[in-house]
A and B are shown apart, each in its own frame.
Chain A
Amino acid sequence: MFPFNFEWIWDMGHVVFMGGLWYALTILGIGMTYCIIKAAMDASKDNGDPHH
């Protein structure tokens, strides 16, 4: 799963498979981080402006 696992080989199979996996996980991670941070910022704005 990680390059430091002893089974890891830098071959096409690992690069394609794990590349696809980490690519998908990165997108999901970045997407959720963006949503959470933006929600926190939006919410703090609301607190500053109770009439929102």
Chain B
Amino acid sequence: MKEGRTHKRFQKFGMVIDLDKCTGCGSCMVACMAENNVPFRKDESNKLLSITWMRVYKLTNGMPFPETDVCYLPRPCMQCAGQHEGHSPCVSVCPAIATDYSMESGIVSQIYTRCFGCRYCMASCPYHARYFNWWDPIWPDGMEKYLSPNVSPRMRGVVEKCSFCFHRYQRAKDRAYMEGRRELQEDEYQTACTQACPAGAITFGDLNNPKHAVSEMVEPDPKHSGRPKNPNAFRLLERLGTNPKVYYLSSREWVRRAGDNYLKNEKKVKKPVHHG
């Protein structure tokens, strides 16, 4: 919180997901679970209880054959910045500062040992990106040896969510420091899902850096809370003013329209509501 009072120009890590490329294979979900020691149970059929930091939704245009069209939409944590940076839906409500917005990276953190499990952040997140540990994690015999040593497993009774593989950022920064560098190269810090996507649908980088691919792809408009200038780009629930850092690309109008709620016969996106 205190760092937010400085005026230094920081990075703003974000993600661009090309929905026209996504095949819905689920590699991103698997990579995410393995990378982040996401717990699972024997029976994962109840998706309301499954922890999926990255979740792929299946969208259809609702048209009969032959106009039927399908789109797969991977949904990580949106790392919302809110209408004034740091006023994310979840960060603003957490009573114990167990989740915080980093002004340095734009990443919304989750401090597992601070969280006491009130679940207010889950209620505040319209993307359902936050998950509660209803059980203690139990790994199949021997699997604990394969857990990532860089990510702490979570205990029962706390909330967890996608961290944009924050440990990778820390590792990359450490390496850069050891090599006497201040700046990270674009490829030095990439999330597990980005690297796992066989279709290359996910791109990750610094939205504040115009040289990074993510910036070039969506052209975020800083004057309008990062709204994309690229007409094919959109963000989920843009109108709520959550100001996410995950952008989607699609050449299909119905897919872009599925990203937000519109009144009947409403064509253009009205100015989003501003809060606080």
Contact = CB atoms under 8 A, between A and B. Distances in A.
A46 B75 CA distance: 74
Interface residues of B, number: 3
A9 B1 CA distance: 9
Contacts of A7: 1, 97
A13 to B, nearest CB: 10
Interface string B1-24: 110000000000000000000000
Interface string B84-104: 000000000000010000000
Contacts of A9: 1-2
A9 B6 CA distance: 14
Interface in A1-52: 7, 9
B2 to A, nearest CB: 6
A9 B3 CA distance: 11
Contacts of B2: 9
B184 to A, nearest CB: 28
A7 B1 CA distance: 8
Nearest to B5: A9
Nearest to A6: B2
Contacts of B1: 7, 9
A7 B2 CA distance: 8
Interface in B1-53: 1-2
A7 B98 CA distance: 11
A7 B97 CA distance: 8
A9 B2 CA distance: 7
Nearest to B96: A7
B86 to A, nearest CB: 13
B97 to A, nearest CB: 6
Nearest to A11: B5
Nearest to B100: A7
A14 to B, nearest CB: 11
B95 to A, nearest CB: 12
A7 B128 CA distance: 28
A18 to B, nearest CB: 14
B105 to A, nearest CB: 19
Nearest to A7: B97
A7 B3 CA distance: 11
A40 to B, nearest CB: 39
A7 B96 CA distance: 10
4 contacts: A7-B1, A7-B97, A9-B1, A9-B2
Interface of A: 7, 9
Closest A-B pairs by Cβ, 4 of them: A7-B97, A9-B2, A9-B1, A7-B1
